[in-house]
């Protein structure tokens, strides 16, 4: 602790001991740079700890630029190419952390995400990186010889300053708009932010008709603004969640048309015709309950589909029912917001940042890494891969 005015010197000061900040710190430390990390939270890597249901979906083997949303879609390519999922897997294996692939290239720890934080802290220690938690930043000034950062733990002086303070999601875990304020202070544009990978809320009739199905899950294809994700949807008390909805939420904004294919992988018209021929006396709700949860089938037939034996449906009615099953309009009223969102869309405009070093194009020595930037991944380990890759790129340059 150094509450006085004598600055504590380091080559690289990283603000934010999350995924990107720790990776940047250990990379710069390995190069022999004197690195200090500070964080206002009481311990490092809090989001890593809570990620992936406690098992951290730490990367995705299929990561490419196509899995990210940004106003500048090419920006992430350089860093992603220079630090790949295989590079992170190599570190995980070196630390003897057991892992498994769940689905679609998503890699999880077998035991606990604590092991990922432990690994990063061990690597930082080996690289002589110093870490201070409970350390709030009070102000940043730039002089001819670098940056002066005033904190509750005294004054720090550094040649390179790395902003790794993340986005706005889960404020209870230490998330803050700090990085955006620093960006603006140094003349950077910040693109509008909104919650991503977030449950959607319903209101009005949809809410009334579906709220008591909370807990029911079914496979769907969720479609919005030219994007489609096939996975599970979960009905909740307030609306809809589950991987298909979280994914599409990053492409949805209030007022946008959101559609669900409730029988993904089926041709619903052909299927209904087959049912009429083979099971004509059965109620539509009964045959539907064989391809989706019974309560959902019942609810659809109470409010949206004809509640009759299938043989009583003529061809136009079959077509109408098939169209609804394949293209169900879901009227979302909003999102659950940053309280539950996994990520923040938007952020520091990447057009003023070097894609190879992550250094500001306007302020030499200032770097932005991780989620604070306008680079947001899909659900499935992509966001951590971006944090590792961008942290690594800056750590090699800072
Ligand atoms: P991150 O948020 O990790 O770290 C920022 C750090 O900066 C924090 O330690 C914070 O305390 C600190 N900070 C903020 N303001 C500060 C200030 N003013 N002063 C000092 N320090 C400050 N992704 C994925 O790929 N796989 C997964 O399994 C999951 N799971 C998941 C679950 C949940 C519940 C959430 C909320 C998110 C995920 N994610 C995820 C997303 C992933 O956690 C996220 O994209 C990365 O943690 C971003 O890494 P950063 O280092 O950029 O920010």
Report which DSSP code applies to 52.
G
Average pLDDT over the chain, rounded to an integer: 96
Report the pLDDT value the prediction gives residue 6, as an integer from 0 to 100.
82
pLDDT exceeding 70 applies to what percent of the chain?
99
Alpha carbon distance 51, 60 (integer Å): 14
Alpha carbon distance 84, 57 (integer Å): 15
Q: What is the ipTM of this complex?
A: 0.99
CATH code, domain carrying 142: 3.50.50.60
Q: Which atom of ligand 1 is nearest to the CA of 41?
A: 11
Report the pLDDT value the prediction gives residue 326, as an integer from 0 to 100.
98
In a domain, 114, yes or no: yes
Mutate to test the pocket of ligand 1, among 47, 62, 386 (most ligand atoms within 8 A of CB): 47
In a domain, 325, yes or no: yes
Cβ atoms of 367 and 394 within 8 Å: the answer is: yes
CATH code, domain carrying 262: 2.40.30.10
In a domain, 1, yes or no: no
**Residue closest by Cα to atom 11 of ligand 1:** 174
Mutate to test the pocket of ligand 1, among 14, 15, 16, 114 (most ligand atoms within 8 A of CB): 16
Same domain, 205 and 178: no
Q: Which of 315, 335, 355 represents a domain boundary (last residue)?
A: 335
Same domain, 366 and 238: no
Q: Which atom of ligand 1 is nearest to the CA of 60?
A: 25
Same domain, 297 and 254: yes
Q: Which atom of ligand 1 is nearest to the CA of 45?
A: 9
Same domain, 35 and 182: yes
Same domain, 87 and 116: yes
- Which structure tokens are listed for 214? 């909370």
**199: Cβ below 6 Å to ligand 1?**
no
29-38 mean pLDDT? 98
Element (DSSP H or E) covering residue 107: strand 106-109
CA of 323 to the centre of ligand 1 (A): 41
In a domain, 329, yes or no: yes
Q: Which of 335, 363, 388 represents a domain boundary (last residue)?
A: 335
Residue 228 β-bridge partners: 223
pLDDT of residue 152 exceeding 50:
yes
How many independent structural domains does the chain possess?
2
Tell me the pLDDT tens digit for each residue of 376-390.
Answer: 999 999 999 999 999
Cβ atoms of 153 and 132 within 8 Å: the answer is: yes
Q: Which domain holds residue 118?
A: 8-195+344-397
**220: Cβ below 6 Å to ligand 1?**
no
Report the pLDDT value the prediction gives residue 166, as an integer from 0 to 100.
97
**176: Cβ below 6 Å to ligand 1?**
yes
**375: Cβ below 6 Å to ligand 1?**
no
Same domain, 188 and 44: yes
CA of 166 to the centre of ligand 1 (A): 5
Alpha-carbon dihedral 45, 49, 52, 53, rounded to 10 degrees: -160
Same domain, 313 and 358: no
177-185 mean pLDDT? 98
pLDDT of residue 2 exceeding 70:
no
Q: Where are the alpha helices (DSSP H) in 238-381?
A: 243-249, 268-278, 284-288, 294-303, 315-326
Tell me the pLDDT tens digit for each residue of 185-242.
Answer: 999 999 999 999 999 999 888 899 998 999 999 999 999 999 999 999 999 999 999 9
pLDDT of residue 301 exceeding 50:
yes
Report the pLDDT value the prediction gives residue 252, as an integer from 0 to 100.
98
- Which structure tokens are listed for 123? 């690597």
In a domain, 216, yes or no: yes
In a domain, 3, yes or no: no
Tell me the pLDDT tens digit for each residue of 90-141.
Answer: 999 999 999 999 988 999 999 999 999 999 999 999 999 999 999 999 999 9
Q: Which of 310, 335, 360 represents a domain boundary (last residue)?
A: 335
Same domain, 102 and 61: yes
Same domain, 95 and 228: no
In a domain, 2, yes or no: no
* pTM over the 0.90 mark: yes
Please report which confidence band the pLDDT of residue 1 belongs to, taking 50, 70 and 90 as the band edges. Answer: very low
CA of 19 to the centre of ligand 1 (A): 7
In a domain, 204, yes or no: yes
pLDDT of residue 4 exceeding 80:
no
Report the pLDDT value the prediction gives residue 205, as an integer from 0 to 100.
87
Task: Look at residues 144, 153, 201 and name the one whose alpha carbon lies nearest to residue 332.
Answer: 201
pLDDT of residue 371 exceeding 70:
yes
Same domain, 264 and 316: yes
**52: Cβ below 6 Å to ligand 1?**
yes
Alpha-carbon dihedral 73, 372, 201, 307, rounded to 10 degrees: 30
How many Cα atoms sit within 13 Å of 142 on the Cβ side?
Answer: 13
**165: Cβ below 6 Å to ligand 1?**
yes
Same domain, 98 and 180: yes
* Beta carbons within 8 Å of 3's beta carbon, 6+ residues apart: 153, 154
Same domain, 126 and 224: no
């Amino acid at each position: 602790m150094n509450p006085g005015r004598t600055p504590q010197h380091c080559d690289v000061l990283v603000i934010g001991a999350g995924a990107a900040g720790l990776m940047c710190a250990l990379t710069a430390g390995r190069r022999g740079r004197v690195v200090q990390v500070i964080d206002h939270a009481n311990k490092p890597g809090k989001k890593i700890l809570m990620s992936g249901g406690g098992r951290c979906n730490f990367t995705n083997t299929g990561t490419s630029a196509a899995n990210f949303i940004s106003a500048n879609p090419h920006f992430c390519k350089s860093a992603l190419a220079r630090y790949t999922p295989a590079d992170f897997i190599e570190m995980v294996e070196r630390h003897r952390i057991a892992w498994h692939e769940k689905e679609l290239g998503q890699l999880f720890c077998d035991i606990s995400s604590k092991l990922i934080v432990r690994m990063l802290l061990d690597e930082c220690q080996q690289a002589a990186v110093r870490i201070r938690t409970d350390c709030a930043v009070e102000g940043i000034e730039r002089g001819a010889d670098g940056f002066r950062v005033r904190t509750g733990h005294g004054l720090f002086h550094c040649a390179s300053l790395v902003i790794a303070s993340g986005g706005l999601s889960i404020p209870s875990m230490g998330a803050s708009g700090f990085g955006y304020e620093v960006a603006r202070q140094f003349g950077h544009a910040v693109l509008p932010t909104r919650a991503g990978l977030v449950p959607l809320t319903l209101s009005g009739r949809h809410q009334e008709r579906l709220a008591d199905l909370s807990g029911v899950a079914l496979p769907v294809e969720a479609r919005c603004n030219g994007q489609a994700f096939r996975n599970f949807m979960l009905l909740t008390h307030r609306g809809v969640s589950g991987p298909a909805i979280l994914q599409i939420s990053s492409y949805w904004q209030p007022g946008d048309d959101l559609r669900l294919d409730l029988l993904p992988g089926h041709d619903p018209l052909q299927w209904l015709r087959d049912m009429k021929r083979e099971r004509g006396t059965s109620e539509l709700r009964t045959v539907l309950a064989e391809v989706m949860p019974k309560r959902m089938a019942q609810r659809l037939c109470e409010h949206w589909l004809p509640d009759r034996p299938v043989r009583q449906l003529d061809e136009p009615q079959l077509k109408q029912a098939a169209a609804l099953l394949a293209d169900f309009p879901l009227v979302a009223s909003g999102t659950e917001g940053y309280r539950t969102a996994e990520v923040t869309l938007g952020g520091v405009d990447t057009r003023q940042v070097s894609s190879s070093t992550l250094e500001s194009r306007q302020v030499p020595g200032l770097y932005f890494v991780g989620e604070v930037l306008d680079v947001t991944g899909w659900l499935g380990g992509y966001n951590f891969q971006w944090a590792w890759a961008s942290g690594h790129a800056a750590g090699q340059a800072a």
